[in-house]
Amino acid sequence: ELVNPEIEWLSDETEVAAEGCLSIPRVIVDVDRPLYARVRGRDRSGAEVLIEASGHEARVLQHEIDHLDGVLILDRTEKKQRKGAMKALRRGESYSPHEED
């Protein structure tokens, strides 16, 4: 559990990976995120929690904290993919840049 998480530190080293989101069904875009993250928050009882994460766990933490900050994966992807995803959403279609290759 993690209540009121705040990103304390992100690595300079990043990785681009495909991400989807339940808030934007049927859309997958590439997102560049730091590989390592340190996040501080609290548990339900109010005790401080510190998480040092890497790889997929770091990506998921950043993704979920983005939601709390009003940021979606479409805000984090390159312009071409954002445009393609928005066009597909307007048509009620799925989108993945990897299907275009």
- The structure's pTM equals 0.93
Domain 3-95: CATH superfamily, name plus number:
Peptide deformylase (3.90.45.10)
**Residue 97: pLDDT above 70?**
yes
Q: How far apart are CA 99 and CA 45, in angstroms?
A: 46
Contact 59, 21 (CB under 8 A): no
Q: What is the pLDDT of residues 12-68, one digit of tens each?
A: 999 999 999 999 999 999 999 999 999 999 999 999 999 999 999 999 999 999 999
Rounded CA-CA distance 41/28 in Å is 29
Q: Per-residue DSSP letters for 8-58? A: EEE-S-EEEEEEEETTEEEEEEEEEEESEEEEEEE-TTS-EEEEEEEHHHH
CA–CA dist 62, 41 (Å, integer): 13
* Catalytic option among 15, 64, 93, 99: 64
Return the domain boundaries, the chain.
Answer: 3-95
Q: Based on the residue annotation, tell me whether 19 is a catalytic residue of this protein.
A: no
